[in-house]
Structure 1
């Protein structure tokens, strides 16, 4: 009688998101008591249940992390994390040293940029940080049946698949189980580098292929240092926004983690009048021009917003389409807050934003000479 192959076990995407978010948060904070920190972290997460996790991702096989799943399947024998290679982003003496750059053709760079675009760990990077990622990755050719990483080994590299097919296996009760197959896309290897723990799974090529790799120290420096810099930068930005003074310290920290950097060049349209609202923006640097359509269908400037200002919130408050357009004046860096995070994090500021509707109405009266409905401005 043939033995039935064991059923493939999948860990829910939400669990992988939570574990990865907790890992990055812990490594940034380095609290003295991991258990108490975990209790506080997951208590806040429970209180915000039903909403998107700031660094979370939509479930997708392309973003699957085999090591995360394997670590859960091995829960009966898993080891405690050992931080033998402590990394403090604030005391990184190597951060200002010349970066290692692996040359790539324009075609290779474009393909790599597309491959890493939707990887959870890199989604919050700005343009300069993403260029650092592309520079730091080197190509690794693999042959059929080659073992790329082996369960139990120390983690050396993080990998992004350029092309090829790869299977992920774990040893469970003396039996090898396949837990995932990567087909020409995906990434693996980050969990061991973040946790400084042995590889939780084996990855084997089932065809000839090619990978993009990043070494352990560069990976940790880019991921952890960028997350640290992002939080500090946005905490300073939040301090410049009077409306956000009403938030409690932990609310401001959560807001800083939820903001996503976006860069626009001169003349770029940021939001367009009539479009559905997907979020709001805070100005980190540069100038944003707000325009509304006049009676003759010509654009009329309503105002300009500089560092510390914000826009796009009223359409979220009123649940109506954008009633104005926003354009970048020169190179402009913004922090974007999506609609789900807006509803979750900015409840305490809602009354202030509603009061601002009257201010915008007064501005339109001055410009057009009559009262217009601006409850959906922006």
Structure 2
């Protein structure tokens, strides 16, 4: 599809945040762009303010990001220049800003208002979820790095025994997962074609920390224990899902999961998730939306635990010693406090409305 503003379209294609948006969806993104002139000294947002917009800097514009994080004076933690984005978490939610953004050099930019982007999400516009997925990918990488600074991972290279390949799920089993129960029959049929059944009769490792991820799991029956570096983080009941970050970034597992006894799980591979996402199915869109919201929350919390520039490595932003979060010193309570991507990787209750009437392609609806 041709763009009414070829120069702007070319500029957008150079911005990593929009790299998943294809030509067919590009105009949906272009409609959100509002040209603005940033003036040196302007405050785009203050620390603690709700997120209302994001900016894409162009030409000479430069912005400094500073935070107090419990200090008396703000400390600059990042600088943004041409091609950089500022405040993109506002596209996910309106949570409090983690720092103050001040324009340090006058120049042009483009602003995207969060309300307009949220309207695209509400209408299930594919471009919005491609942008959200890119944000989620960036947040996954950021959290994995932050995790290592707060709680180092355990021994890498551990492999669990291969699990037997199970049959496809049937309608009766789909019904037993609470979030799927109220879905239209045609939607359940489509999900059944993408979900694999895993039944175990005893305590069974599902995957290990550091292992290459390949999909997400939904607990129908039984319980799954989640651990990291030899510490138990949580026991997940039926009705929750885990490993969902794998559907977004196909990275490495940040925690180990095993059933505590007999269990019935449903698995969606990252390949099947990608098929749903590429086809514009709302189930995949809503999973991306949910993961992005959870990741943003955990990034904010994890950022508070890291030392500011110039501080000693053992002191975090909330003046809580990092040593108390390390494995040798950590208690179960300490590990519970660390809200990083472990929680997203490990457990996500299904909170989506799951308005998925169009999840099945026409070919599947016709049998």
Give the TM-score of the pair, scaled to structure 2. Answer: 0.36
Flag the structure with larger Rg. Answer: 1
Structure (1 or 2) with the greater helix fraction: 1
Give the TM-score of the pair, scaled to structure 1. Answer: 0.35
